[in-house]
Amino acid sequence: MTLDANTKSALRERLNFYRELGVGPLYRRDASPVRQLLEVTSEEAARVEAAVEAVEQSAFVATADDSVDRAALLQVIADDIGPDCQRCKLAKLGRKQIVFGTGDPHAELMFIGEGPGADEDAQGLPFVGRAGQLLNNMIAAMGLKREQVYIANIVKCRPPGNRTPERDECETCSPFLMRQIGVIRPKVIVALGATAAKNLLSVNDSMASLRGRFYDYSPPGIVDESDEAFQCKLAVTYHPAFLLRDPRQKKEAWKDLQMVMRFLDLPTPQRAPSDEGS
């Protein structure tokens, strides 16, 4: 079949939008699904597909150019996910809405948790419940504001009963999270809890063995201006929800955050922050 006028207009607008930004889609993929998705076999569709591929080939995935509107690029990713993503079974297991991520698109520090809980699912923002309040306190103890970091999760939909996200659910969401990392280009990612750490690092070690060190982390599929794999540091610490259950581990989490602060040249207080309000 041939492309209808609305489809051609939508594709044209999206291509022009990418050109104006000076970048293409942030996660490289084979352009052939364009034809499959639209069930198009015409010569016209092939030309559109070639144009999409040309835009993708001409763009850097992760750019240090501060003139690039990273907020707009994050919006492109959110639009690609869509407001009612049906890619995995979480869509049919009680999820209310997508919880994309929040914070400074130019943040040097990014926190990645496990998945949304009930409060997050209701508000559409990550870490806004009790665990979120503790995370805010942890960020403040580092001398930063929540608005100065970026916060996301391994999966963007609430698993039923706040269960641990399953492997297929994590793998389905992973490309979008990698694209977010590629836009933000953080200097350090802090993985909050075992689920985040194991999924990001593709390991199955205990928290005791994962904590206390930096990892050289390269998000799959993300490259820099030299077409080399983009790389940042990754640290692992306890999830705030775990710290609420076992406050004795807060001192250990503070050690992890101090390690990150030293790397980012942030002032490091000698005394641990007060537990008040956490």
| Same domain assignment for residues 43 and 83 | no
What band does 225 get if pLDDT is binned at 50, 70 and 90? Answer: confident
Q: Is there a single domain that holds both residue 32 and residue 89?
A: no
Residue 42 confidence (pLDDT) above 60: no
Identify which of 172, 169, 177 has the alpha carbon closest to the alpha carbon of residue 151.
177
Taking alpha carbons only, the member of 182, 189, 178 closest to residue 109 is: 189
Specify if 268 maps to a domain.
no
Say yes or no: 53 and 150 in one domain.
no
Token pair 């690092």 is found at 201
Domain that holds residue 51: 5-58
Residue 146 has pLDDT above 90, yes or no: yes
Residue 101 lies in a domain: yes
Confidence at residue 53, expressed as pLDDT on a 0 to 100 scale:
44
Confidence of residue 217 (pLDDT cuts 50, 70, 90): very high
When pLDDT is averaged across residues 217-233 and rounded to a whole number, the result is 92
Number of domains present in the structure of the chain: 2
pLDDT at 43 over 60: no
Q: Please report the pLDDT score of residue 140 as a whole number.
A: 97
Q: How far apart are CA 43 and CA 40, in angstroms?
A: 9
- 54 and 75 housed in the same domain: no
Whether the predicted pLDDT of 226 surpasses 60: yes
pLDDT greater than 50 at residue 107: yes
**Which single residue is written with the structure tokens 């665990």?**
131
Does residue 87 lie in a domain region? yes
For residues 75-94, give the mean pLDDT.
Answer: 97
Both 170 and 243 in one domain: the answer is yes
Query: What's the chain's length in residues?
Result: 278
pLDDT, one tens digit per residue, over 171-187 is: 999 999 999 999 999 99
The arithmetic mean of pLDDT across residues 121-132, rounded, is: 98
CATH code of the domain covering residue 84:
3.40.470.10
User: What is the rounded distance in angstroms from the CA atom of residue 244 to the CA atom of residue 128?
Assistant: 14
What value does the mean pLDDT take over residues 219-235? 93
Greater confidence (7 vs 86) lies with 86
Q: Same domain for 136 and 52?
A: no
Question: What pLDDT was estimated at residue 8?
Answer: 52
Is position 273 within any domain? no
pTM above 0.85, yes or no: no
- Residue 233 located in a structural domain: yes
Query: Do both 193 and 223 map to the same domain?
Result: yes
Of 52-56, 219-223, 243-247, highest mean pLDDT: 243-247
Distance CA 176, CA 189 (A): 16
DSSP 90: G
Token pair recorded at residue 168: 């297929």
Q: What is the model's pLDDT at position 21?
A: 55
Residue 275 within a domain: no
CA–CA separation, 66 and 69 (whole Å): 8
Same domain as 117, residue 248: yes
- Residue 234 burial by CB count (10 A; 0-12/13-18/19+): exposed, middle or buried? buried
Report the percent of the chain where pLDDT is more than 90.
Answer: 70
Residues 241, 122, single domain; the answer is yes
Residue 269 pLDDT = 77
